């Protein structure tokens, strides 16, 4: 999941900016650190060769330099930030080969649901995508906040109940990646890791076809079952009954997830914790 | 009768917190019994608990911070061990426990360690540096301290009665809402912070007023020591920002207690509003903490370099610039919400702008050392260690302020490393520097240098070994707050971090040893002149510890570095030997108001958490009655007769004269 080993254009651009910014700053930070250590060492009280200048407490020229060094660095980096923010806006298109794949991601307590409205299928905790195609994500949450993040594909984004966020990515190479939630969401949070299978564009239709033959159907009813708090170890896949399911979730026509079931009125509800183990 | 409280609130099934709580309880009881049996209670009550002396209150703040540092540190050790072992396994802490620990750790370290430590130092030193006898509102000051202590107490009670929040130190809804956190954990969190928040606000108002209104003759703004400036800036931020926190938590509590919908998923609640509000307080908060530390370093670097602070006016400007700009950057904490490129870019650049005055400060300390004659006493070691460390924290701060970089690093271990880098390397190093530097002033004897230096080197090394691996883990995609994980690449870094933690702990132990050894050798370490470091500002112009009234005469300030000036002039004029004419001094009377008020606030807070309504009313009435009684008081002050002032002052004067004549002879 190394950030410096990007597998798509967004991650590549993000990490370039990351590395460049670090180097720009190191150019002034490293000499400054050396200067601190050098001055501290040279002007130690026991060094008789160092000249004591108690009156050197102001110098217009030094002040000029001292304000301009960080200012110039910040102007440079500010430019990077301005251009970067616009080019790498999560909602900006990421052109790819073939037609874009629409994916609707829903964070549940504590699993990820990926709906492919055009293919009429859905999966849990695995995201299968064709290499090279633009991936249009729409994201929401069934209950609490989470963050959708595939480190090697780049840019993360929040998922929030009752709201839709947008993110466009592209995976360039066939292979297996991992994704996770980057916003703490409760007891099962560490188990919100998911697999990302990047397969060849030719294999994608086959995968869709096999998945569409699934016995399991995702509709309001089975979604509500999925929504209960708990961890999903299996990699489920579904036929999608209603392609509008995501909209129903995002517009809260399906009410938010229920949270822990209260066993008693006592101060320490244990239910969540036991599920998580 | 007892609301939600019953036996199930005591975690009999969880040995760790129960044992920990038990040990603490026994320790507290033992200390209490010892105090009572030995007959120290009247002394404690008269001289400390009811004291309104800013120096005593400052010391109590620092004591509170130190004790809580041990608690927060234990949490940290438990977390580091968990992450080192919980690879492809559950480790030894189940999620509901681990999640409480990281939430408590963050809350405790920010609100009950960093805050009381810096507020304590400001309380202790600022009036002395300003050359005045007390703060603006002495009794209010005591109220502020005791309310902070109430908050700390409630957080610790949650260890044995009920549970603490499992939501992180900022309790984001909807997770912290009633639907997803039905237990009392979030209530403990919110009420502790509400009560201690009032205390902090009171302390802020008090210190702002003190700096603005109570300065000795000739101490105009541009002659104030740097620490007074950063105190002013920090407390202005407190006064402006803490009401936001109070309002935000009040809304969260209304959601939880009365079925409101400010931040719920349903009925038009808006979690993004919470994010904005909490960070509108949260970002200024980090500068509330670090600005006083900057002030401490300014004092220390200039004293131990034997030079006035380089570019004083530039430093003042930088401080006030940070104070203003820090209010305009809060959105950088959630670039990944999808606000759009313009918004992200503007807040990113605004955040970077803060790095300019911060950089200027570093360079000015650098040039203060240039041409100096640097003595490497412990406070100076902490300061140089800080400069080197903090620069890296600043670098990574600016890095996460570049939105596209933050899209990869937000909420990762990299972020965790960033803020520990600035908070430990900045605030904690600053607090330790201040502690070492001003300890002789507060207690009249110096601290042992050998243990102090050992503490520095272990803490410094331990810090780097603990937190550099977290930067790397973040670069490997590791996110924060993971109770367990399966990614093999992260494991080695977690193991290195736990080793670093061990080194860091040795540093803390050295610090404790330093205190023990120094108390034992206090006669040898006695500071008789009141000026052990060859200081430059007015706190060194009085005895150590200073008399209740601080100064027999209001010092007359003629320039920056007031006391240095006096020393130079005294040497030139060979200090006149005739006796000055002493006057009676009026000082504020001790008052139990703060303690009693906090006592009732504790009852009220506990009752609110457990929905015990009759007790809420009882506590509320009690606190209000205390307030009324205080408001109707007749006698506010007592008089210290001139002879007494003269007697106390002469002792110190003699010591000081011999020092000056000695220095003059050389
Ligand atoms: C040089 C100036 C600094 C800049 C530009 C900066 C920037 C940032 C940014 C952009 C974040 C949010 C990153 C994210 O959530 O993805 C952040 C987090 C944080 N920073 Fe800094 N920072 C600076 C200095 C400081 C200082 C001096 C402190 C404290 C004394 C501090 C304490 C924190 C804390 C506590 C967090 C994380 C809070 C949390 O999410 O729990 N920062 N910083
Ligand atoms: Cu939103
Ligand atoms: Cu911030």
A45/B476 touch (CB, cutoff 8 Å), yes or no: no
Residue B17 neighbours by CB under 8 Å, 6+ apart: B11, B97, B159, B160
Q: Does B99 touch chain A (CB under 8 A)?
A: yes
**How far lies B240's CA from each of A125, A223, B196, B525, in Å?**
45, 46, 16, 42
Name chain A contacts of B6, Cβ cutoff 8 Å: 266
Between residues A277 and A57, the one the model is more confident about? A57
Of the residues B408, B415, B416, B431, which should be mutated to test ligand 1's pocket, given the most ligand atoms within 8 Å of the CB?
B415
Residue nearest to atom 7 of ligand 1 (CA): B397
Q: How far apart are CA B381 and CA B399, in angstroms?
A: 28
Are residues A166 and A237 part of one domain? yes
B371/A53 touch (CB, cutoff 8 Å), yes or no: yes
Q: Is-contact A139 A166, C-beta < 8 A?
A: yes
Residue nearest to atom 20 of ligand 1 (CA): B419
Are residues A129 and A66 part of one domain? no
Q: Is the pLDDT of residue B452 over 70?
A: yes
Name chain A contacts of B379, Cβ cutoff 8 Å: none
- Pairing, β A134-141 against β A101-108: parallel
How many other CB atoms are there within 10 angstroms of residue A250's CB atom?
21
**How far lies A244's CA from each of A104, A218, A221, A222, B405, in Å?**
10, 11, 14, 15, 34
Are residues A109 and A15 part of one domain? no
Residue nearest to atom 10 of ligand 1 (CA): B401
Token representation of residue B500: 């670093």
Q: Is the pLDDT of residue A34 over 80?
A: yes
- Residue B545, preceding bond cis, omega within 30 degrees? yes
Tell me, yes or no, whether A274 lies in a domain. Answer: no
- Pairing, β A237-240 against β A217-218: parallel
Please report the pLDDT score of residue B579 as a whole number: 66
**In chain B, pLDDT over 70 holds for what percent of residues?**
97
pLDDT in tens, A186-204: 999 999 999 999 999 999 9
Average pLDDT over residues B250-256: 94
Q: What atom of ligand 1 comes closest to residue B169's alpha carbon?
A: 41
Are residues A107 and A242 part of one domain? yes
Tell me, yes or no, whether A64 lies in a domain. Answer: yes
What Rg, from alpha-carbon coordinates, does chain A have? 26
Please report the pLDDT score of residue B578 as a whole number: 58
Q: Is the pLDDT of residue B666 over 80?
A: no
Q: Is the pLDDT of residue A149 over 90?
A: yes
Please report the residues numbered 595 through 614 in chain B whose beta carbons come closer than 8 angstroms to any beta carbon of chain A. Answer: 610
DSSP string, B79-99: HHHHHHH-BSS--SS-HHHHH
Q: What angle do CA A240, A246, A250 make, to 5 degrees?
A: 160
Could you tell me the domains of chain B?
Answer: 1-269 (1.20.210.10)
Out of B94, B366, B387, closest to residue A273 by CB: B94
How many other CB atoms are there within 10 angstroms of residue B318's CB atom?
25
Q: How far apart are CA B32 and CA B30, in angstroms?
A: 5
Name chain A contacts of B17, Cβ cutoff 8 Å: none
Residue B230 neighbours by CB under 8 Å, 6+ apart: B291, B292, B294, B295, B298, B319
Name chain A contacts of B176, Cβ cutoff 8 Å: none
Out of B271, B388, B477, closest to residue A2 by CB: B477
**In chain A, pLDDT over 90 holds for what percent of residues?**
63
pLDDT in tens, B419-444: 999 999 999 999 999 999 999 999 99
Average pLDDT over residues B1-20: 76
Q: How far apart are CA B116 and CA B65, in angstroms?
A: 6
Are residues A148 and A120 part of one domain? yes
Tell me, yes or no, whether A93 lies in a domain. Answer: no
Question: Interface pTM (ipTM) of the complex?
Answer: 0.91
Name chain A contacts of B332, Cβ cutoff 8 Å: none
pLDDT in tens, B172-188: 989 999 889 988 999 99
Please give the distance, rounded to the nearest whole angstrom, from the Cα atom of residue A15 to the centre of ligand 1.
20
DSSP run (H or E) holding A239: strand A237-240
Out of A88, A156, A270, closest to residue B410 by CB: A156
Are residues A236 and A125 part of one domain? yes
Tell me, yes or no, whether A273 lies in a domain. Answer: no
Of the residues B332, B404, B409, B417, which should be mutated to test ligand 1's pocket, given the most ligand atoms within 8 Å of the CB?
B332
Please report the pLDDT score of residue A82 as a whole number: 94
Q: Is the pLDDT of residue B21 over 80?
A: no
Average pLDDT over residues A201-221: 90
Specify which residues A122 forms β-bridges with: A115, A238
Out of B391, B403, B409, closest to residue A33 by CB: B391
Q: Is-contact B535 B438, C-beta < 8 A?
A: no
Q: Give the closest ligand to the alpha carbon of residue B171.
A: 1
Nearest-Cα distance to chain B for A244, in Å, is: 21
Token representation of residue B332: 């950088």
* Range of the structural domain that residue A23 is part of: 9-44+59-88
Token representation of residue B203: 């302390």
Between residues B272 and A265, the one the model is more confident about? B272
Are residues A213 and A192 part of one domain? yes
Name chain B contacts of A15, Cβ cutoff 8 Å: 408
Token representation of residue A94: 């990421």
How many other CB atoms are there within 10 angstroms of residue B420's CB atom?
18
**How far lies B520's CA from each of B62, B63, B516, B543, in Å?**
20, 19, 6, 21
- Pairing, β A154-159 against β A121-124: unpaired
Are residues A141 and A71 part of one domain? no
pLDDT in tens, B102-151: 999 999 999 999 999 999 999 999 999 998 999 999 989 999 999 999 99
B374/A45 touch (CB, cutoff 8 Å), yes or no: yes
Are residues A19 and A77 part of one domain? yes
Q: Which residues sit with their C-beta closer than 6 Å to ligand 1?
A: B 286, 289-290, 332-333, 351-352, 354-355, 358, 394, 397-398, 400-401, 406, 409-411, 415, 418-419, 422-423, 426-427
Q: Give the closest ligand to the alpha carbon of residue B410.
A: 1
Residue B24 neighbours by CB under 8 Å, 6+ apart: B156, B159
Are residues A193 and A131 part of one domain? yes
pLDDT in tens, B579-636: 678 888 888 888 888 999 999 999 999 999 999 999 999 999 998 998 888 888 877 7
Tell me, yes or no, whether A120 lies in a domain. Answer: yes
Task: Tell me B328's DSSP state.
Answer: G
In a mutational test of the A interface, the residue from B88, B95, B389 whose CB has the highest number of chain A CBs within 10 Å is: B95
| CATH number of residue A108's parent domain | 2.60.40.420
Out of B342, B370, B375, closest to residue A45 by CB: B375
Q: How far apart are CA B591 and CA B146, in angstroms?
A: 12
Confidence of residue B577 (pLDDT cuts 50, 70, 90): low
User: How many structural domains is chain A composed of?
Assistant: 2
DSSP string, B118-185: HHHHHHHHHHHHHT-SS-S-HHHHHHHHHHHHHHHHHHHHHHHSS---SSTTTT-TTTTSTTT--SSH
Q: How far apart are CA A8 and CA A94, in angstroms?
A: 10
Torsion, Cα of B618, B620, B626, B627 (10° steps):
-160
A264/B8 touch (CB, cutoff 8 Å), yes or no: yes
Are residues A31 and A69 part of one domain? yes
**In chain B, pLDDT over 90 holds for what percent of residues?**
65
Q: How far apart are CA A37 and CA B385, in angstroms?
A: 10
Q: Is-contact B326 B284, C-beta < 8 A?
A: yes
Tell me, yes or no, whether A261 lies in a domain. Answer: no
B95/A2 touch (CB, cutoff 8 Å), yes or no: no
Nearest CA in chain A to B405: A18
Tell me, yes or no, whether A142 lies in a domain. Answer: yes
| Residue at token pair 């217009």 | A60
Q: Is-contact A194 A188, C-beta < 8 A?
A: no
B477/A44 touch (CB, cutoff 8 Å), yes or no: no
Please report the pLDDT score of residue B663 as a whole number: 57
Residue nearest to atom 21 of ligand 1 (CA): B397
Q: Give the closest ligand to the alpha carbon of residue B416.
A: 1
Q: Is-contact B53 B122, C-beta < 8 A?
A: no
Q: How far apart are the first and last CA of chain B?
A: 76
Q: Residue A120, exposed/middle/buried by CB under 10 A (0-12, 13-18, 19+)?
A: middle
Starting at the earlier edge strand, list the strands of the sheet with A101-108: A165-170, A134-141, A101-108, A111-116, A121-124, A237-240, A217-218
Name the average pLDDT for chain A. 88
Please report the pLDDT score of residue B121 as a whole number: 96
Please report the residues numbered 472 through 491 in chain B whose beta carbons come closer than 8 angstroms to any beta carbon of chain A. Answer: 475-487, 489
Please report the pLDDT score of residue B54 as a whole number: 93
Q: Give the closest ligand to the alpha carbon of residue B337.
A: 2
Are residues A139 and A39 part of one domain? no
Average pLDDT over residues B64-69: 93
Alpha carbons within 13 angstroms on the beta-carbon side of residue B528 total: 12
Three-state DSSP string of B561-608: CHHHHHHHHHHHHCCCCCCCCCCCEEEECCCCHHHHHHHHHHHHHHHH
Q: Comparing B20-29, B208-217, B314-323, which segment has the lowest mean pLDDT?
A: B20-29
A vs B, Cβ pairs < 8 A, gives 318
Q: How far apart are CA A131 and CA B371, in angstroms?
A: 62
| Residues with Cβ–ion distance below 5 A, ligand 3 | B 283
Q: How far apart are CA B438 and CA B436, in angstroms?
A: 6
Smallest CA-to-CA distance from B335 within B349, B326, B325, B348 is with B348
pLDDT in tens, B527-539: 888 888 888 899 9
Q: Is-contact A266 B8, C-beta < 8 A?
A: yes
Q: How far apart are CA B613 and CA B609, in angstroms?
A: 10
Confidence of residue A267 (pLDDT cuts 50, 70, 90): very low
Residue B296 neighbours by CB under 8 Å, 6+ apart: B121, B227, B430, B431, B433, B434, B437
Q: How far apart are CA B545 and CA B54, in angstroms?
A: 13
Tell me, yes or no, whether A94 lies in a domain. Answer: no
Helices B185-213 and B593-609, packing angle to 10 deg = 150
């Amino acid at each position: 999941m190394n950030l410096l080993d990007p597998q798509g254009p967004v991650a590549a651009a993000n990490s370039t900016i990351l590395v460049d910014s670090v180097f720009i700053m190191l150019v002034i930070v490293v000499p400054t650190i050396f200067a601190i250590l050098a001055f501290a060492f040279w002007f130690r009280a026991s060094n008789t060769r160092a000249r004591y200048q108690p009156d050197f407490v102001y110098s217009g020229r030094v002040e000029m330099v001292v304000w301009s060094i960080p200012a110039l660095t910040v102007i440079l980096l500010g430019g990077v930030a301005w251009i970067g923010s616009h080019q790498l806006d999560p909602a900006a298109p990421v052109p790819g080969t073939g037609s874009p794949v629409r994916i609707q991601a829903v964070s549940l307590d504590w699993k990820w649901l990926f709906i492919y409205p055009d293919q009429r299928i859905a999966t849990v905790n695995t995201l299968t995508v064709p290499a090279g195609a633009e991936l249009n994500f729409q994201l929401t949450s069934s209950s609490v906040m989470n963050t959708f993040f595939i480190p090697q594909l780049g840019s993360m984004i929040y998922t929030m109940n009752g709201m839709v966020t947008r993110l466009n990515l592209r995976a360039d190479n066939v292979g297996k990646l991992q994704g996770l939630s980057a916003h703490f969401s409760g007891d099962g949070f560490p188990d919100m890791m998911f697999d990302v299978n990047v397969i060849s564009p030719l294999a994608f239709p086959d995968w869709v076809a096999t998945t569409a033959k699934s016995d399991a159907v995702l509709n309001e009813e089975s979604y509500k079952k999925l929504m209960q708090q708990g961890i999903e170890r299996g990699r489920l896949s579904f036929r999608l009954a209603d392609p509008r399911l995501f909209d129903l979730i995002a517009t809260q026509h399906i009410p938010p997830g229920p949270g822990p079931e209260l066993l008693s009125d006592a101060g320490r509800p244990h239910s969540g914790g036991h599920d998580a183990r | 009768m007892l609301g939600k409280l019953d036996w199930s609130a005591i975690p009999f099934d969880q040995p760790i917190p129960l044992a920990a709580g038990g040990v603490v309880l026994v320790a507290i009881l033992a200390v209490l019994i010892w105090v009572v049996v030995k007959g120290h209670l009247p002394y404690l009550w008269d001289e400390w608990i009811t004291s309104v002396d800013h120096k005593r209150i400052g010391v109590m703040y620092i004591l509170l911070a130190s004790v809580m540092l041990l608690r927060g540190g234990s949490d940290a050790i438990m977390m580091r061990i968990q992450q080192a072992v919980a690879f492809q396994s559950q480790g030894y802490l189940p999620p509901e426990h681990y999640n409480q620990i990281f939430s408590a750790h963050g809350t405790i370290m920010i609100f009950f360690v960093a805050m009381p430590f810096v507020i304590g130092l400001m309380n202790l030193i600022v009036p002395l540096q300003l050359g005045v006898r007390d703060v603006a509102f002495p009794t209010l000051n005591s109220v502020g301290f005791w309310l902070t202590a109430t908050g700390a107490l409630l957080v610790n009670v949650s260890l044995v009665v009920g549970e603490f929040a499992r939501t992180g130190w900022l309790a984001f809804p909807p997770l912290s809402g009633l639907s997803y956190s039905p237990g009392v954990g979030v209530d403990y969190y919110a009420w502790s912070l509400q009560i201690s928040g009032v205390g902090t606000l009171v302390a802020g108002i008090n210190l702002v007023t003190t700096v603005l209104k109570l300065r000795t003759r000739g101490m105009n703004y541009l002659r104030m020591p740097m620490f007074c400036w950063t105190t002013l800036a920090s407390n202005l931020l407190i006064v402006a920002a803490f009401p936001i926190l109070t309002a935000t938590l009040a809304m969260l509590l209304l959601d939880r207690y009365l079925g409101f919908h400010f931040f719920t998923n349903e009925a038009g609640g808006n979690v993004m509003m919470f994010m904005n509000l909490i960070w509108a307080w949260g970002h200024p908060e980090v500068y509330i903490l670090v600005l006083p530390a900057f002030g401490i370093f300014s004092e220390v670097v200039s004293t131990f370099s034997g030079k006035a602070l380089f570019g004083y006016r530039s430093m003042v400007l930088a401080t006030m610039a940070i104070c203003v700009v820090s209010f305009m950057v809060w959105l950088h904490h959630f670039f990944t919400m999808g606000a759009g490129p313009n918004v992200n870019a503007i807040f990113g650049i605004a955040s970077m702008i803060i790095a300019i005055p911060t950089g200027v400060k570093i360079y000015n300390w650098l040039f203060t050392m240039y041409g100096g004659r640097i003595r490497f006493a412990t406070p100076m070691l902490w300061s140089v260690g800080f400069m080197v460390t903090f620069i890296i924290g600043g670098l990574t701060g600016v890095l996460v302020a570049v939105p596209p970089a933050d899209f990869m690093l937000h909420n990762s271990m990299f972020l965790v490393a960033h803020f520990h880098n600035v908070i430990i390397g900045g605030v904690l190093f600053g607090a330790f520097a201040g502690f070492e530097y001003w300890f002789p002033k507060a207690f009249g004897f110096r601290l042992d240098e050998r243990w102090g230096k050992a503490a520095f080197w272990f803490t410094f090394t331990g810090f780097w070994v603990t937190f550099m691996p977290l930067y790397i883990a973040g670069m490997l995609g590791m996110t924060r707050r993971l109770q367990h994980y399966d990614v093999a690449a992260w494991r080695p870094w977690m193991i290195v971090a736990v080793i670093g933690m061990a080194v860091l702990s040795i540093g803390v132990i050295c610090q404790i040893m330093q205190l023990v050894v120094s108390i034992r050798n206090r006669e040898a370490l006695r500071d008789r002149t009141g000026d052990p470091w060859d200081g430059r500002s007015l706190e060194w112009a009085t005895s150590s510890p200073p008399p209740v009234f601080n100064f027999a005469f209001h010092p007359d300030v003629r320039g920056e570095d007031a006391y240095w000036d006096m020393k130079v002039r005294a040497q030139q004029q060979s200090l006149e030997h005739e006796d000055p004419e002493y006057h009676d001094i009026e000082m504020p009377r001790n008052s139990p108001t703060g303690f009693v008020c906090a006592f009732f606030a504790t009852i009220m807070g506990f009752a609110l958490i457990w929905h015990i309504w009759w007790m809420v009313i009882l506590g509320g009435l009690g606190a209000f009655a205390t307030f009324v009684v205080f408001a109707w008081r007749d006698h506010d002050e007592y008089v210290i007769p001139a002879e007494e002032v003269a007697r106390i002052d002469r002792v110190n004067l003699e010591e000081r004269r011999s020092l000056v004549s000695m220095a003059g002879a050389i």
